[in-house]
């Protein structure tokens, strides 16, 4: 096993030069992850350009000490920093350089200290630090380095602990930042930092050759992807404005004061630097105002103003290319967050809230149809009473509409599942109609009044069970009613049973029923999913 | 001198078929951590799936180095002056690039053509088989190359996966990404489209998967070659072949196993069917 006890300036430079090459390999993947703070898809590129500028300066360091090289890298990063993540990266380098100041070379424990300082500096650069970003990753990684350093170890072992903690931290970013969760991605800046650290570790381990033939790992989100609903996108559609960046050079500059002044002028503000050089990054609707103020303080350099709405469009195009090339969208009616998630996860482009007691209007459906990106739309009404409403949409839009008349949630899910990515609009409609008929549905709900139906006497609030819309069972307990309804079916010919339990039903009750079915029919594949639907204790699909 | 056909181990061409038709199969390397194996040479497919399901380390696969191809070119050059190499999709592996490099370096007198099949498994295997049959019948390099290019759009591969677990772990799934994150356990049907794995549809049970594979084959009116492959379920493969016997002579159906590289994503329990459609006259 290779061991590295200390690193001098030259090795520091080579190590991060290799890391920069490593980063370059996944730039486009990182760009594609970019959804925060603005989904403009340039995070990887920005980090790469920042690292390049940093490494270029490293070659201009006055001597080969770790101190001099780190200083040069920090300066280079500051001068060349691009975008949010680039500026934060330059702060990380600044922290490293401060900690390594005066050192000819550094050990594993020096590295751990430098990383800690880097993390502190990264947070300091932001007026409003957000967790679930590169900041969290640098903090958690540096803390792992500290822990490892406490029990000793060479530079490699410290770096290994750092990289492994960074990996976990990146995977966890979607749990901290909702916008990542909705997009089903990890934080791009955090991923970029992880890739840089991983590249440095490969170099330390002498794996230069291996790096030539490999590509960096893009970390998968620790929580599953749920498609973002178009409704939500539409509601949040505010202009992103201009990404405004520049470098201020002068004397007696005060970054803190400048940061205070600019705070109200926009979002994602980062002000970093010292008395003679300050780098500013801000997202603002009025870049002129910001620039005007800055020119009154010192001279301006490297001014860059980019229209982020334009970038965002480009990003959306890029995302489109990555998604399966499907020109047919599906609009589904469902109520309950669980059921909505199920439909979204299976590829429904829009979910219109509604069901038995709250039928959506034609207008609601039309709105969803107009909102989805494609010209061909399939509507899944998922309720008998909504089928007719759905058929009205056809005459109100120029888009091509097909209604697959699903009368229950299980029919809708079966139809959506059967969607064929390779087939055309007409064929898909046929496939989905066929799939809908292959499934049986049981719904268990509570009677709203006392009545007599199908020869069954029903008291108000009793549990009642429907098999494909026909009343088949009545009882005091929802579980008993479900069992009775299931008994009407020949389960020996069944393969899969999926139980969606409602908002008012306890998961343990749902588990109980699945256990009892499993005992009686061990060959069945039974799944219990939280549907979260109102009114219905159970919606069950039998395939 | 007959044209020699070379392909890689991802074609899923078994040694029996290879010997019978004179096809040279170049193995890719499969590694679990520091242990490396030559696909189907130093590790059987059974051993691979056992390790995939029992080993904590995630396997990686590596294309054959150009040197392997140069060695093969040198050896084949003793008996022929025309070689055709058909590789798996360049979007799934660097093998195609490796062969191109080998062709550049190779100094022998052979004429070598290299084709990126844009498919994998028996989708590739059936193309290589058709090429080998033509070569045996005396076609020259240009004729066989032309035949392969015309066969490519007629080769259709479809695969059933028992689980999305391995696909999700592997990451390199192209457009099949859309299948991930489903909240129900689903069994995907995938194909290879434009050289990449691409989703076709989703099913809820294995039995439905077998029906889907059967119906897929039933959708073709003129079949030239047919192959059935499995990962870990030879009995299911036999049953499917038996069933397909009503559509195509059973004894002409090629049976094979899904190679480790695809298996890394497909996982145990996967099945695949490949059809080489007959050329319309």
pLDDT digits (tens, 9 = 90+) for A221-230: 655 444 333 3
Q: What is the mean pLDDT of residues A326-351?
A: 88
Same domain, B148 and B192: no
Confidence of residue A407 (pLDDT cuts 50, 70, 90): very high
**Which pLDDT score, from 0 to 100, does residue A234 have?**
30
Q: Is the pLDDT of residue A183 over 80?
A: no
Q: According to the model, what pLDDT value does residue A28 have?
A: 83
B204/A217 Cβ within 8 A: no
Q: Which of B178, B14, B268, B66 is nearest to A225 (CA)?
A: B178
Residue A156, CA distances (Å) to A18, A58, A95, A108, A161 in order:
15, 22, 20, 7, 9
What span, in angstroms and rounded, lies between the C-alpha atoms of A380 and A399?
A: 16
Same domain, B167 and B243: yes
Closest Cα of chain A to B191: distance in Å? 10
pLDDT band at A267 (very low <50, low <70, confident <90, very high): confident
Q: Supply angle C-alpha B163, B169, B174, rounded to 5.
A: 90
Residues of A in contact with B203 (CB under 8 A): 417
For chain B, give the percent of residues with pLDDT over 70. Answer: 94
* Torsion sign (Cα): B100, B104, B108, B112: positive
pLDDT of residue A83: 77
pLDDT at A126: 77
ipTM: 0.76
B205 and A543: CB-CB below 8 Å?
yes
User: What domains are there in chain A, each with its CATH number?
Assistant: 7-224 (1.25.40.340), 242-313 (3.30.70), 324-437 (3.40.50.510), 440-542 (3.30.1180)
Better-scored residue on pLDDT, A213 or B253: B253
State the Cα–Cα distance between residues B198 and B176, nearest whole angstrom: 5
Q: Which residue has the higher pLDDT, A267 or A65?
A: A65
Same domain, B24 and B113: yes
User: What is the average pLDDT across B268-278?
Assistant: 96
Top mean-pLDDT range of A173-187, A315-329, A470-484, B154-168: A470-484
Q: How confident is the model at residue A463 (pLDDT cuts 50, 70, 90)?
A: very high
Residue where the block lists tokens 């990890």: A186
Q: Which of A3-7, A485-489, B129-133, B209-213 has the lowest mean pLDDT?
A: A3-7
Contact B181 A218 (CB under 8 A): no
In this prediction, residues A100-128 reach a mean pLDDT of 92
With a cut of 70, say whether residue B264 has pLDDT above it.
yes
Work out the average pLDDT over A41-58: 88
Tell whether B144 and B197 lie within a shared domain.
no
Reported as a pLDDT band with limits 50, 70 and 90, residue A474 is: very high
Confidence of residue A313 (pLDDT cuts 50, 70, 90): low
Q: Are residues B36 and B143 in the same domain?
A: yes
Contacts of B183 in chain A (CB under 8 A): 224, 226, 338, 341-342, 345-346, 529
Rounded CA gap, A311 and A316, in Å?
A: 9
Give me the CATH number covering residue B87: 3.40.50.10170
> Quick one: which of A227, A230, A238, A192 has its CA closest to A49?
A192
Q: Is the pLDDT of residue A217 over 80?
A: no
The percentage of residues in chain A with a pLDDT greater than 90, rounded to a whole number, is 44
The pLDDT tens digits of the residues spanning A285-294 come to 888 888 888 8
| Alpha carbon A68 to its chain's center | 39
Mean pLDDT, rounded, for A177-185? 77
pLDDT-based confidence at residue B181 (cuts at 50, 70, 90): low
For residues B57 and B126, state if they share a domain: yes
Mean per-residue pLDDT of chain B: 90
Q: Per-residue pLDDT for A59 more than 80?
A: yes
pLDDT at A218: 73
| Residues A409 and A445: beta-carbon distance below 8 Å | no
Domain end marker among B152, B168, B202: B152
- CB B201 to CB A417 under 8 A? yes
Domain count, chain B: 2
Two tokens, residue A23: 């980063």
Host H or E run for residue A507: helix A507-520
Q: What is the pLDDT confidence band of residue A1, given thresholds at 50, 70 and 90?
A: low
From chain A residues 204-223, the ones with a CB under 8 A of any chain B CB are: 213, 217-218, 220
Could you tell me if residue A42 is left (phi over 0), alpha (psi between -120 and 50 degrees) or otherwise beta? alpha
Find the residue in B nearest to A182 (Cα).
B181
Mean pLDDT to the nearest integer, A179-183: 75
Residues B77 and B165 grouped into a single domain: no
Mutation target to probe the A interface, by most A beta carbons within 10 A, among B172, B173, B184, B205 is: B184
- Beta carbons of A85 and A192 less than 8 angstroms apart: yes
In the A/B pair of chains, how many CB contacts fall below 8 A?
81
Residue range A496-517: mean pLDDT, rounded: 92
Q: What is the pLDDT of residues B43-98, one digit of tens each?
A: 888 899 998 888 878 787 888 888 899 999 999 999 999 999 999 998 888 899 88
| C-alpha span between B250 and B27 (Å, rounded) | 29
pTM of the full predicted structure?
0.60
Question: Residue B175: which pLDDT band, with cuts at 50, 70 and 90?
Answer: low
Count of C-beta atoms within a 10 Å radius of residue A35: 23
B62 interfaces chain A, CB cutoff of 8 Å: yes
- Is 80 exceeded by the pLDDT of residue A250? yes
> Does B178 share its domain with B105?
no
Please name the member of A220, A323, A543 whose beta carbon is closest to the beta carbon of B171: A220
Q: Give me the sheet containing B111-116, strands edge to edge.
A: B23-26, B4-8, B82-87, B111-116
Record: contact A418-B202, CB cut-off 8 A: yes
pLDDT of residue A127: 72
pLDDT of residue A226: 40
Same domain, B92 and B226: no
Binding-face residues of B in 166-195 toward A, CB within 8 A:
168, 171, 175, 177-178, 180-186, 191, 193
Nearest to A418 among B183, B193, B201 (CB): B201
Instruction: Residue A217: list chain B partners with CB under 8 A.
Output: 171
Q: State whether residue B27 is helix, strand or coil.
A: coil
- Does residue B198 share a domain with residue B165? yes
CATH number, domain with residue B224: 3.30.1180.10
Q: Of B130, B152, B174, which one is at a domain's C-terminal end? A: B152
- Lowest mean pLDDT across A27-36, A188-197, A455-464, A472-481: A27-36
Ramachandran category for residue B88: left, alpha or beta (phi over 0 → left; psi -120 to 50 → alpha): beta
Nearest chain B Cα to A325, which residue? B175
Range of the domain at B103: 4-152
Asked if residue B130 and residue B10 are part of one domain, the reply reads yes
Across A29-43, A370-384, B31-45, least confident range: A29-43
Q: Give yes or no for residue B260 having a pLDDT over 80.
A: yes
- When pLDDT is cut at 50, 70 and 90, the band that residue A322 belongs to is very low
pLDDT at site B213: 97
Last residue within a domain, chosen from B131, B152, B173 = B152
The pLDDT score that the predictor gives to residue A235 is: 30
Going through A215-337 in order, the beta strands assigned E by DSSP cover: 242-249, 267-273, 277-284, 299-307, 328-334
Tokens 């770790």 locate to A66
**pLDDT band of B170, cuts 50, 70, 90:** low
**pLDDT score of A409:** 96
Let me know whether B113 and B35 are in one domain.
yes
Greatest extent of chain A over all pairs of C-alpha atoms, in Å:
96
Which pair of tokens denotes residue A8? 């001098």
Report whether the peptide linkage leading into residue B272 is cis, meaning its omega lies within 30 degrees of zero.
no
Q: Which residues pair with A248 in a beta bridge?
A: A278, A300
Looking at the predicted structure, is the pLDDT value of residue A4 above 90? no
Average pLDDT over residues A31-48: 76
Q: Is the pLDDT of residue B241 over 90?
A: yes
């Amino acid at each position: 096993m290779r061991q590295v006890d200390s690193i001098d300036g030259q090795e520091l430079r080579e190590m991060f030069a290799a890391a920069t090459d490593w980063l370059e390999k996944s730039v486009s993947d990182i760009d594609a992850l970019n959804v925060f703070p603005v989904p403009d898809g340039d995070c990887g590129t920005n980090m790469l350009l920042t690292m390049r500028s940093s490494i270029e300066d490293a070659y201009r360091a006055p001597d080969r000490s770790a101190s001099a090289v780190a200083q040069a890298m920090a300066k280079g990063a500051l001068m060349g920093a691009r975008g949010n993540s680039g500026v934060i990266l330059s702060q990380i380098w600044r922290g490293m350089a401060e900690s390594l100041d005066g050192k000819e070379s550094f050990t594993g424990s020096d590295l751990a200290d430098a990383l800690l300082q880097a993390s502190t500096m990264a947070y300091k650069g932001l007026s409003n630090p957000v967790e679930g970003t590169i900041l969290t990753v640098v903090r958690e990684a540096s803390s792992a380095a500290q822990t490892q350093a406490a029990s000793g170890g060479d530079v490699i072992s410290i770096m290994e602990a750092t990289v492994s903690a960074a990996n976990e931290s990146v995977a966890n970013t979607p749990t901290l930042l909702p916008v990542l969760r909705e997009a089903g991605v990890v934080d791009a800046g955090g991923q970029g930092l992880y890739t840089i650290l991983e590249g440095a570790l490969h170099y330390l381990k002498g794996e230069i050759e291996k790096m030539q033939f490999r590509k960096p790992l893009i970390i998968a989100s620790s929580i599953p992807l749920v498609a973002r609903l178009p409704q939500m996108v539409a509601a949040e559609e505010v202009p992103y404005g201009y990404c405004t960046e520049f470098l201020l050079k002068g004397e007696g500059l005060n970054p803190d004061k400048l940061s205070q002044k600019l705070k109200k002028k926009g979002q994602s503000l980062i002000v970093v630097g010292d008395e003679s050089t300050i780098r500013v990054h801000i997202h603002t609707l009025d870049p002129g105002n910001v620039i005007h103020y800055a020119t009154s303080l010192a001279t301006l350099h490297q001014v860059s103003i980019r229209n982020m709405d334009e970038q965002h469009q480009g990003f959306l195009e890029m995302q489109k290319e990555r998604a399966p090339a499907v020109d047919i969208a599906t609009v589904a009616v469902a109520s309950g967050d669980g059921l909505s998630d199920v439909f979204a996860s299976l590829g429904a482009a829009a979910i219109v809230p509604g069901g038995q007691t709250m039928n959506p209007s034609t207008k609601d459906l039309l709105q969803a149809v107009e909102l989805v990106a494609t010209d061909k739309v399939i509507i899944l009404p998922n309720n008998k009473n909504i089928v007719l409403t759905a058929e009205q949409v056809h005459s109100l839009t120029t888009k091509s509409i097909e209604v697959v008349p699903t009368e229950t949630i299980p029919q809708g899910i079966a139809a959506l599942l059967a969607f064929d990515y390779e087939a055309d609009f007409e064929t898909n409609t046929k496939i989905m109609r066929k799939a809908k008929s292959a499934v049986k549905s049981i719904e268990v709900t509570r009677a709203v009044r006392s009545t007599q139906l199908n020869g069954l006497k029903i008291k108000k609030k009793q549990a009642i069970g429907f098999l494909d819309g026909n009343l088949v069972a009545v009882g005091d307990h929802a579980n008993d009613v479900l069992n009775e309804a299931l008994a009407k079916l020949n389960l020996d010919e069944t393969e899969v049973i999926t139980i969606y339990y409602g908002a008012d039903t306890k998961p343990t009750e749902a588990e109980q029923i699945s256990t009892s079915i499993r005992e009686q029919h061990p060959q069945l594949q039974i799944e219990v999913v939280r549907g979260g639907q109102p009114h219905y204790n159970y919606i069950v699909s039998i395939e | 001198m007959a044209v020699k056909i070379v392909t890689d181990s991802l074609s899923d061409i078994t040694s029996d078929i290879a010997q019978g038709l004179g096809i040279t199969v170049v193995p890719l390397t499969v590694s679990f951590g520091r242990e490396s194996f030559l696909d189907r040479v130093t590790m059987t497919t059974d051993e691979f799936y056992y390790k995939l399901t029992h080993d904590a380390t995630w396997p990686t696969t590596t294309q054959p180095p150009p040197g392997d191809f140069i060695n093969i070119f040198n050896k084949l050059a003793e008996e022929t002056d025309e070689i055709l190499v058909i590789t798996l999709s360049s979007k799934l592996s660097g093998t195609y690039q490796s062969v191109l490099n080998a062709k550049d370096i190779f100094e022998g007198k052979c004429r070598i053509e290299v084709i990126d099949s844009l498919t994998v498994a028996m989708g590739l295997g059936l193309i290589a088989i058709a090429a080998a049959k033509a070569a045996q019948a005396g076609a020259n390099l240009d004729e066989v190359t032309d035949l392969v290019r015309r066969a490519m759009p007629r080769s259709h591969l479809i695969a059933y996966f028992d689980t999305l677990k391995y696909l999700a772990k592997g990451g390199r799934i192209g457009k099949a990404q859309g299948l991930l994150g489903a909240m129900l356990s689903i069994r995907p049907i995938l194909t290879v489209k434009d050289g990449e794995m691409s989703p076709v549809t989703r099913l809820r049970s294995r039995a439905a998967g077998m029906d889907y594979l059967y119906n897929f084959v039933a959708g073709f009116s003129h079949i030239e070659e047919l192959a059935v492959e499995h990962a870990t379920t030879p009995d299911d493969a036999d049953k499917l072949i038996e069933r397909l016997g009503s559509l195509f002579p059973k004894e002409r159906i090629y049976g094979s196993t899904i190679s480790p590289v695809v298996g890394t994503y497909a996982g145990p329990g996967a099945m695949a069917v490949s059809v080489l459609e007959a050329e319309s006259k």
